[in-house]
Amino acid sequence: MTKQKKETIMGRREVIAAIRHSFLRLSPGYQMRNPVMFVVYTGAIVTTVLCFYKVEGDKQTWFVAGVALWLWFTCLFANFAEAIAEGRGKAQAASLRAARRDIQAKQLKSPEKRDEYLHVSSATLRKGHFVLVDSGDFIPGDGQVVAGIASVDESAITGESAPVIRESGGDRDAVTGGTQILSDWLVIKMTADPGESFLDKMIALVEGAKRQKTPNEIALAILLAGMTIIFLLACATLLPYSLYAVQKSGAGSVVGVTVLVALLVCLSPTTIGGLLSAIGIAGMDRLVQANVVAKSGRAVESAGDVNVLLLDKTGTITHGNRQAVAFHAAEGGSIQHLADAAELSSLADETPEGKSIVHLAHEEYGVTPRDMSSIEGAFVPFSAETRVSGIELKDTKILKGAVDAVEALVTAAGGSPSPSARQIADRIAREGGTPLLIARGNRILGVVQLKDIVKHGIKDRLADLRRMGIKSVMVTGDNPLTAAAIAAEAGVDDYIAQATPQTKLDYIKKMQTGGELVAMVGDGTNDAPALAQADVAVVMNSGTQAAKEAGNMVDLDSDPTKLIEIVEIGKQLLMTRGALTTFSIANDVAKYFAIIPAAFASTYPALLTLNIMHLATPQSAILSAVIFNALVIVFLIPLALKGVSYKPVGASRLLQRNVLFYGIGGVIVPFIGIKAVDLILVAMGVT
Amino acid sequence: MNMSFNDALQIFLYFLVLFVCVKPLGIFMSRVYQGERTFLSGALGWLEKGIYKISGVNPEEEMTWKAYAWHVTIFSTVCFAALYAILRLQAGLPFNPEKMAGLSPDLAFNTAASFTTNTNWQAYGGETTMSYLTQMAGLGVQNFISAAVGMAVMASFIRSFVRKNSGTIGNFWADMVRGLVYILLPLSFVLALVLVGQGVVQTFGSSVEAHLLDPLKTSAHVVNTQTIAVGPAASQVSIKQLGTNGGGFFNVNSAHPLENPTALSNFLEMLAILLIPAACCYAFGHMVGDTRQGWAILAVMTIICLPLLIFCYGQEQGGNPRLAALGHIEQRQGIYQSGGNMEGKEDRFGVVNSAIWATTTTAASNGSVNSMHDSYTSLGGLVPMLMMQFSEIIYGGVGCGLYGMLVYALITVFIAGLMVGRTPEYLGKKIQAYEIKMSSVVLLVPLFCTLLGAAVAVLTSAGQAGPFNTGAHGFSEILYGFSSAGNNNGSAFAGLGADTPFYNEVLGISMLLSRFWCMLPVLAIAGSLSAKNAVPPSAGTLPTHTPLFIFLLTGVVLMVGVLTYVPALALGPLADYFQTLHSIHQG
Amino acid sequence: MTMSSLRISILMWLSLTVIFGGLYPALVTGISKAIFPAQATGSLIRDEAVRVVGSRLVGQEFSDPDYFWGRLSATVPMPYNAASSSGSNYGPNNDDLMKTVQARVKALHDADPGNESDVPVDLVTASASGLDPDISIAAARYQAARVARLRGLTEKDIDDLITKNTQPRAFGVLGEPVVNVLMLNLDIHRKAAHATGGKR
């Protein structure tokens, strides 16, 4: 169903482009957008200047230059992370853009007259214009089908090769620019101006051009800025403290500006600060790879917060159609007779239900297969009025349909309803099945038991959701009895039976009042109010324009189970930020042990006792910390792009694991890393 | 480090009795702040109602956070102004048997700031500066009020977790008056009487002349008498301990034998330091309907406090290495002496009770002392300094400590919440950009006051004149002073000559900034949280009562405190310590 | 809002000052006077002439070798100034502290040259208040032989007096056992007066 996710591998060209961008982004205007990295940037400038102007305390030019160089690298690495994340999106955007070439369109003066059109460029089409698209043509832009029916190849957008049907009126009237009509024709009313189409939005989104910070990202950025200010204070005040210490002890020299800058950069949460935007971009990118387009990053984040999931029964929890599983003869009738009649009545019935009755009769009840052409009779199609279907034979009629409808017809034909059949039908309904009555002439033969088939594996997925703390709610038009039985079988937590747009809306509102965040999937126009109300609303790409407007994400695969995947992507995005923040802060412990003794050794040599890593010299210690601080950004780029791994377990276990990995790990790793860098520096003779 | 059995037992007993008191007092406080009837309603209800009536307050009126903050600010300003006036004018006011003169403007400013902010930093010596009227109607009243204001803000903050989609956080006047009448007054009253029984003075009489048994022969003349300062001390000592005020009646605070005469009075006064701050945790859990939340917070505080206490004890009991190097001095603990570093300590308390007091008084923003922190060993003295630098949230001030710790909990929840893949929430309330912004302010202000204040001091000659000791320890004195003022503690490395215009003004400003620029953002957070809906807990919610969360919150508090102050501490106590080791090694 | 808030604030301050600054301390003082009259006024000790000779709780300076010496006191202008309590505030690394301690060790040795044992630390260090009324038992025992010799008393007599004036730990647990110097010296003074018919 879902096509294989394509993992974009970093190609050489992308890397080269990213490197180029890393340098281009060294402008102050660009750097100012990220307060943490701006501190590094300023530090790099200050130390670079110090290379040329010898100031008391910063006399060792090679050391100052070394620090300056690596501070520039730190900035570049952060830029690179962002650029490479955007590059991956760009590659995808490029393939999408291929679909958005200029298309010759047939613009209609009026939608009624299909033969009066002008050939125009798609770029000139505006919202409200009508176009005709014939077999083989590309659809020039997003629109709504106003006339015609056609099969459309949407693989350029969705990657799904099977064509889909688009027709006017109903829930399949939305078309996307860049897709191709394979057969028949459509008259389409344009719903977007050029450059604002769905495809354009999607391209902009994956390119990161229009990326807006999400609420949690903003909150985290504030916290990081706050921490940076704290460390700025701690480092800046060291200068007067050190002055005083030198003055009072009469020994050593005042701590140099280079050392203070190095200390500040190492303490500031540069790891997360440098990777923050890359994480955000990569998160959106993962969503795009799952073939979902979110209208905003906010929606992706909200997906991680969702605690109630509204799932349509049909298509999500059960296979789309009910299937016959048994025949039950009415009192006094024979089962063979019933099976035979049921098969006859359904021979011409092309619905999945009809087919399943025929199949059941052949396979389980030994009815000899027949061919419609060999039978003299006329098919009676299902109509909303009679609510029955069947076959009209020479002498008699065989009908099947809902219990009360068939009973009414039989009574009208002079027969009487069968109490035993009624009993059986009620029992089936109670157990969650759907009973169909079969009548020959004015006599009721028995009952066909239809049943919803719950999808394989759905139960496990719902159990996963529960472990994640998400309540699943099944939405169905079935009566409460049927709904309850399926709900129990599939293992959903709650259900809305006999759902109407209004009951869905009310349910969502009720949940929201209780503080829950609700996600739902929809496609039809009548879902629009509920979609608009839900916190996260995923609309099938096959859905109507109204539904797409109301939702905040569109699933190009039109896969109703996709919602679960979206929730996971949302969670992963937040987790990656949290994990790297923790890692970044935990790193500071080791950096202190490297820098503090080195910084004050000249005034208080006794402080060298704290040099527990036995770093070679004060200069190599500080340089090692700065280099480690820069390199760790590079090492963590893959993690930022891929996201930390997510498993559907409870919050406590998830936290435990992440704290262990990124918290405790974050304390230990830099001790090893800084020591290693120091050893290398010593080996290179840089001390 | 060897800890004698009896010393261990004293520490154990201290925390045992404390924790036994936490639950009943916590429940009582919770009920008081929710306006419920308690066993004291009958006895003291008239007093509460009377105060409302005289002041024209409608206790039922709900306030938005802005209104609440406004009333807090105006009221505190009035209190500040009134106290300043009393201090300046005390010479002409009654109850002044020792004929104390009015205070200088800068000392009056500093003292008024100090007592309205619950800091109770003493740039003055009580028995040599303050009239009895000033002590009672000025300082004593502020001891009550500043404590009650802190508790009121805490109550409104807790309320904001309970309320849903509400714009209000309670009534400031009602919260304050209830705290005063039902919690602080009865406890102080009982404690004061017990302390008098132990020997704490409580009299309106003037100082006493005693005829010396062994007259003092100085080069110039012979002194035959000793003037013993007395006064209404007990009534003030009890509230200064209970309300985490700490401003002593006498200069040396609870080291003074007439302020803290016996081991039992010492135990009770120490208990009073942490009693309400610890009970606040339980009251919090009780008010939000999940006492586990309160225990978790209390656990974090204790986990940080206890090891540092034991460390401090170990350093002090280990004695002064330089005295050991002198020879002929017995510093070891034995059955006939507590031994250890006894400079600046009282014999009746010994090392262990001095260490418990020093640690808890700085953990809580009390700041009273029963020993002289300035004379602690380098690392022993590091403990009280660090305790204050944790922003006074390890128990902290009454009310302030809890709301400060809850702000740290919000930060922790934010980071941890991200790690479980959800918009972080605490007790069902989503923690978003606004809360983080305000929390950052709460984190930042004390650091700002402390670090910047100390920087200004070391850069100016007026500031440099302050330290009494030399070298790294002199810097420690400055750093300690600003840590104390910047975190509203009030204790001192008392060698610092702080009664100068420079220190009075800069420290006074620090105290005011730190108190109110933490309180206002906290109220803003309360307003924001109160307006939010609550998310019901699920398996995806980060539980905030588990050992893991306790570990995380502890980690965040330690990281913020230690990471911020390590560089400065390296130039103070750490340098002092390593230098001492070094010099002894070489000498 | 400002005016009404200001009015409430002022009235509130007034009423709270009356209650907590007036009634509360007055009530505590009144009750204290009734049930703990001695303690409330400073635990004063009077001689036969009803003259105040000190407070049981406040230390006094003793420099005569025939008295027990107490802790060092850093109060100004003279030691044990009970009108202005103060500690030394010497940092642990302060050279002046070392000098003071050395001087005290020397003074103790000069007063009792034969005493070779190490000096208990509380005897060479200043108390926190400058008014510490106590010394450790070790500090008392260190001086016992000297006082006995100079007073012409037996060491047993002195030991008995030390024991008599020793305050044990409260409930056997809290605090440290200490000897009250003033009370001990008063006892010695009385006993010596009996023995010698009044030396002073």
What DSSP assignment string belongs to A320-348? Answer: EEEEEEEEEEPTT--HHHHHHHHHHHHTT
Q: What percent of chain A has pLDDT over 90?
A: 27
Q: Do B540 and A469 touch (CB under 8 A)?
A: yes
**pLDDT higher than 80, residue A376:** no
What is the pLDDT, as a whole number, of residue B438?
97
Contact B139, B386 (CB under 8 A): no
Q: What are the beta bridge partners of residue C45?
A: C54
Question: Alpha helix locations (H) across C60-136?
Answer: 95-111
**pLDDT higher than 60, residue A1:** no
The span from the CA of B363 to the CA of B308, in Å, is 10
Contact B350, C175 (CB under 8 A): yes
What is the pLDDT, as a whole number, of residue A6?
41
What is the pLDDT, as a whole number, of residue B539?
81
What is the pLDDT, as a whole number, of residue B334?
92
Average of per-residue pLDDT across A541-546: 73
Q: State pTM to two decimals.
A: 0.89
Count other Cβ atoms within 10 Å, centred on residue B14: 21
Dihedral pair phi/psi, residue A391, rounded to 5°: -140, 140
What is the pLDDT, as a whole number, of residue A70?
96
Sequence letter at residue A226:
G
Query: Given the DSSP bridges, would you call strands C44-46 and C52-55 parallel, antiparallel or unpaired?
Result: antiparallel
Count other Cβ atoms within 10 Å, centred on residue C112: 17
User: What DSSP designation does A515 have?
Assistant: T
Positions in chain B whose pLDDT score sits under 70: 1, 587
Crossing angle of the two packed helices B291-317 and B400-419, in degrees rounded to 10 = 110
The CA–CA distances, whole Å, from B473 to B29, B382, B457 equal 42, 11, 15
Q: Binning pLDDT at 50, 70 and 90, where does residue A235 land?
A: very high
Here the tokens at position A405 are 């409808």
SS3 C169: coil
Of A215, A582, A659, the CB nearest to B548: A659
The span from the CA of B234 to the CA of B198, in Å, is 10
Q: Binning pLDDT at 50, 70 and 90, where does residue A452 land?
A: confident
The CA–CA distances, whole Å, from A504 to A12, B127, B187, C194 equal 50, 75, 57, 104
What is the pLDDT, as a whole number, of residue A9?
46
Count other Cβ atoms within 10 Å, centred on residue A502: 11
Q: Do B214 and C8 touch (CB under 8 A)?
A: no
Q: What are the beta bridge partners of residue A328?
A: A447
What is the pLDDT, as a whole number, of residue A557?
77
Instruction: Say if A656 is an interface residue toward chain B (CB within 8 Å).
Output: yes
Length of chain A in terms of residues written: 687
**Which of B18, B28, B514 minimizes the C-alpha distance to B273?**
B18
Here the tokens at position A541 are 């790409």
The span from the CA of C139 to the CA of C71, in Å, is 9
Q: Do C137 and B337 touch (CB under 8 A)?
A: yes
Count other Cβ atoms within 10 Å, centred on residue B60: 9
Taking the CA atoms of chain B, what radius of gyration do you get in angstroms? 23
What is the pLDDT, as a whole number, of residue A95?
67
Stronger pLDDT, A491 or A524, i.e. the higher one? A491
A312 tagged catalytic:
yes
Q: Binning pLDDT at 50, 70 and 90, where does residue A206 land?
A: low
Q: Which residues of B163-177 are buried (b: 16+ CB within 10 A; e: fewer)?
A: bbebebbbbbbbbbb
Query: Given the DSSP bridges, would you call strands A536-540 and A518-522 parallel, antiparallel or unpaired?
Result: parallel
Residue in B closest to A303 by C-alpha: B422
Query: Given the DSSP bridges, would you call strands B63-64 and B168-170 parallel, antiparallel or unpaired?
Result: antiparallel
Contact C56, C43 (CB under 8 A): yes
Q: Binning pLDDT at 50, 70 and 90, where does residue A568 land?
A: confident
What is the pLDDT, as a whole number, of residue B66?
96
Cα-based angle B106, B109, B111 (whole degrees, multiple of 5): 110
Residues 6+ apart with CB under 8 A from A12: none
**Of the listed A200, A312, A340, A527, which one is catalytic?**
A312
The pLDDT tens digits of the residues spanning C17-52 come to 999 999 999 999 999 999 999 999 999 999 888 899
The span from the CA of B100 to the CA of B96, in Å, is 6
What is the pLDDT, as a whole number, of residue A140?
84
Contact B182, B549 (CB under 8 A): no
What is the pLDDT, as a whole number, of residue C197?
47
Contact C59, C133 (CB under 8 A): yes
What DSSP assignment string belongs to A427-443? Answer: HHHHTT-EEEEEEETTE
The span from the CA of B418 to the CA of A571, in Å, is 8
Contacts of A267 in chain B (CB under 8 A): 563
The span from the CA of B420 to the CA of B422, in Å, is 6
Residue in B closest to C122 by C-alpha: B342
What DSSP assignment string belongs to A255-290? Answer: PPHHHHHHHHHHHS-HHHHHHHHHHHHHHHHHHHHT
Average of per-residue pLDDT across A175-186: 82
Query: Given the DSSP bridges, would you call strands A143-153 and A164-167 parallel, antiparallel or unpaired?
Result: antiparallel
Here the tokens at position A452 are 């919803």
Highest mean pLDDT among A130-139, A166-175, A315-324, B56-65: B56-65
Of C83, C92, C124, the CB nearest to B227: C83
Q: Which chains touch A (3+ CB pairs under 8 A)?
A: B
What is the pLDDT, as a whole number, of residue A5?
39
**Mind spelling out the 3-state secondary structure of A69-102?**
HHHHHHHHHHHHHHHHHHHHHHHHHHHHHHCCCC
Q: Do C128 and B125 touch (CB under 8 A)?
A: no
Q: Do B440 and A662 touch (CB under 8 A)?
A: no
SS3 A349: coil
Contact C65, C186 (CB under 8 A): no
Q: Output helix, strand, coil percentages for chain B, rounded to the nearest 5.
A: 65, 5, 30
Stronger pLDDT, B112 or A548, i.e. the higher one? B112
Question: Alpha helix locations (H) across B179-230?
Answer: 185-198
What DSSP assignment string belongs to B232-273? Answer: B-HHHHHHHHHTT----SSTTGGGSTTTS-SHHHHHHHHHHH
Instruction: Say if A596 is an interface residue toward chain B (CB within 8 Å).
Output: yes
**Is the CA virtual torsion A542, A546, A551, A554 positive or negative?**
positive
The span from the CA of A293 to the CA of A202, in Å, is 7
The CA–CA distances, whole Å, from B263 to B8, B177, C129 equal 16, 33, 15
In chain B, where are the structural domains located?
5-211+227-586
Residue with tokens 């139960």: A459
Here the tokens at position A471 are 């309540």
How close, in Å, is residue C187 to chain B by CA atoms? 11
The pLDDT tens digits of the residues spanning A385-412 come to 777 888 888 888 888 888 888 888 888 8
Q: Do B421 and A662 touch (CB under 8 A)?
A: no
